[in-house]
Amino acid sequence: MSEFTHLNKNGQPAMVDVGEKKISLRKATAKAVVLLPERVLEALQKDNFQTKKGSVFQIAIIAGIMGAKQTSGLIPLCHPIGLDNCELEIELNALNEVVIQCTASIEGKTGVEMEALTGASVAALTIYDMCKAFSQDIIIKEIKLTEKTGGKNDFKRA
């Protein structure tokens, strides 16, 4: 049976003690999907995704990496870790949805799921921020973990 891991024996908030865990390669991928109204998408495609602020996707990639690196400062009980790698990919799918994939990895005692999720989230929020002057009808449809390896349990879903 699963238990909440961020509680101590008295039921109070606590960091998970990873002191006894073995170092292993840990990797996680998260996905965010952003729906842009047709007129926003058309305007972006017309200008090759460039705005006066810069390239929407390139800035979102940089923001996502920066966000992943700051995860422990945003999520109170996350361990501060030095990521070995963080990569973001952003593309339009066949449904004209903006799909963001963030993959983070580390050789360490704790996983990087929250870093991958934070990276994808910050990239999605950056796209929203850069496009909101066109429309407030932008929707961040989903943010989810799609894969993790290393540690106790591997995980994968579409």
> Could you say which of 17, 47, 129, 154 is catalytic?
129
Q: Is 129 a catalytic residue?
A: yes
99 and 8 in contact (C-beta within 8 Å)? no
For strand 98-108 and strand 24-35, is the pairing parallel, antiparallel, or unpaired? Answer: antiparallel
99 and 92 in contact (C-beta within 8 Å)? yes
Q: Which two tokens stand for residue 115?
A: 């870093």
Q: How far is CA 42 from the centre of its chain?
A: 26
66 and 126 in contact (C-beta within 8 Å)? no
Q: Give the Å distances, CA to CA, from 125 to 63, 116, 145.
A: 9, 14, 17
CA 11/CA 3 separation, integer angstroms: 11
Which residues are the active-site residues? 129
